[in-house]
Every structure is written in C-alpha cells, then in structure tokens.
Amino acid sequence: MRKLASVLAACAMFGACLAAQGANRPPSPAGTAATQVKGTYTNPKGADGPVYQGGKWIEITYDRPIKRGRDLWGTGAEYGKQLLSGAPVWRAGANVSTRLRTETPLVINGKTVPAGEYSLFIDLKPNAWTLIVSSWGALQKPDANNKTGLWGSFGYTPDKDVVRAPMVLSTLPFSVDQLTWAFVDMTPAGGKLALMWDKVMAATAFKVQ
C-alpha cells in the first residue's frame, strides 16, 4: 500500500508540473525563419563532405499566434480589424514587432534595403496586402515615452518606411494553424518572404544585391 501511495503521489506531482508548464507557456510562442545566401561550398581538408562557407544570414524573428478557431480576417468594413486591434497596420505576428535582420543588402520592389535590422508590418486591405519594411525599432513592452521604437505596430507612422511592396496572395490547399513566416522559392539570386496563416499565403519577392 505504501508503494502504491508513493507511485500515486509521484504521478500527481508529475501532472502538477505539466499543468504548471502549460500555464506558463506563452499563448504566441516565439519563432524564427532563417536562410543563408552568397556563400560557396568548399571541401576543406579533414571535413566529412562539402562545407558552406562565407554565407550571409537573413532572419525573421516573430511571435506566432495560433488560430484557435477564429475567423481571422473578417469581411467588408471589418476586414483585418481583429488582427489590427486598433493599430494602423498589422504587426504580422504577436507581441513584439516582427523583425527582419539581414547581413546583406536586399532589393525589394526595386529599392535597396541596406544590411541591418528592421521591423516588418503589413497594411491589410481585402485582396491587397502591402509589406512594409520599416526602420522603427522594437520595444519589449509598451513605452509611450520611447520615440524610436514601437510595441508591435501601435503608434506606427509611415515616416520610417524603408520600402513598401505589394504581396501576392494565394489560397493554400490546407489550413496553417500557427502563423508562419518562411523563405520560399530560394535561389542564389534571391527568393520570397512569405507569411502563411489559415488558408492564406502572402509573399513578396526579393533579390540579393
């Protein structure tokens, strides 16, 4: 009986630990999309095979909201309002502003985006999304006194836009439950920045300068 009681107590403690972990998990977990360009494969002595060297990283960091059964987009005059939550543009993620870091200049919509760090926003219009690469900084929490950074996209103004580019919208043959940024159709010359959520994919082409 004592042994059984000990086993049951251990099971109860394990269950409590799992419950605590679930309670502490953020509702929109952090995510990263990354690719590497401009490198070359070499065969250094002693390596097991070809090694990619000299590459430059391009990375998107963001928080990943989950659909949780919602009608994400809305229709008519209500289009996009749920995601905007009163902000002028969409943060294209959750919580902290979605961030683009690139170690090499990129060409988007005919304009050069120098190597550096930027915020990504999306101007949501029915069947017409616009990607915004902005020099606004990102705040870890709201701070109305900080004039160089934003919390999400609240307080966004277009004066810090580096480039705006139309996004090609397509319908996926499946539904993506958790918002996902990805690099798609990559070649040595460039590729596309793509956002997928629910049955929507929105993508903007870029070139590696």
Instruction: Map residue 4 onto helix, strand or coil.
Output: helix
pLDDT-derived band at 34 (thresholds 50, 70, 90) equals: very high
CB of 195 within 8 A of CB of 181?
yes
CA–CA distance, 179 with 91 (Å, rounded to integer) = 12
Is the pLDDT higher at 3 or at 102? 102
Confidence of residue 24 (pLDDT cuts 50, 70, 90): confident
**What average pLDDT score do residues 111-126 get?**
98
pLDDT band with cut points at 50, 70 and 90 for residue 7: very low
Amino acid sitting at position 52: Y
Give domain status of residue 11, yes or no. Answer: no
Say if 157 falls within a structural domain. Answer: yes
Does residue 71 lie in a domain region? yes
**Kind and range of the H or E element at 208?**
strand 190-208
Identify whether 56 is part of a domain. yes
Range scoring the smallest mean pLDDT among 3-17, 71-85, 87-101, 123-137: 3-17
Report yes or no on 14 lying in a domain. Answer: no
Structure tokens belonging to residue 112: 């050069």
Report the alpha-carbon distance of residue 108 to residue 190 in Å, rounded: 10
**Binning pLDDT at 50, 70 and 90, where does residue 63 land?**
very high
CA 64/CA 18 separation, integer angstroms: 22
Pair of tokens at residue 91: 């943060």
Q: Is 16 a member of any domain?
A: no
Where residue 11 falls among pLDDT bands split at 50, 70, 90? very low
Instruction: Judge whether 9 lies within some domain.
Output: no
Looking at residues 58-85, what average pLDDT do you find?
Answer: 95
In contact, 65 and 94? CB cutoff 8 Å: yes
- Taking residues 179-184, report their average pLDDT: 98
**pLDDT of amino acid 1:** 57
**22 pLDDT higher than 70:** no
The confidence band for 108, taking pLDDT boundaries of 50, 70 and 90, is very high
Return the residue matching tokens 């170690």: 103
Task: Give residue 23's pLDDT.
Answer: 67
What is the span of the domain harbouring residue 201?
30-208
For 11, 60, 132, 164, the CA distances from 64, given in Å and listed in that order, are 32, 12, 19, 23
* Mean pLDDT score, 101-121: 98
Give the model's confidence band at 67: pLDDT under 50 very low, under 70 low, under 90 confident, else very high: very high
Q: Using 50, 70 and 90 to split pLDDT, how confident is the model at 17? A: very low
Domain count, the chain: 1
Decide if 24 is inside a domain: no
Return the sign of the alpha-carbon dihedral for residues 195, 176, 32, 145: positive
Is residue 18 scored above 50 in pLDDT? no
- Phi, psi (degrees; rounded to nearest 5) at 113: -105, 110
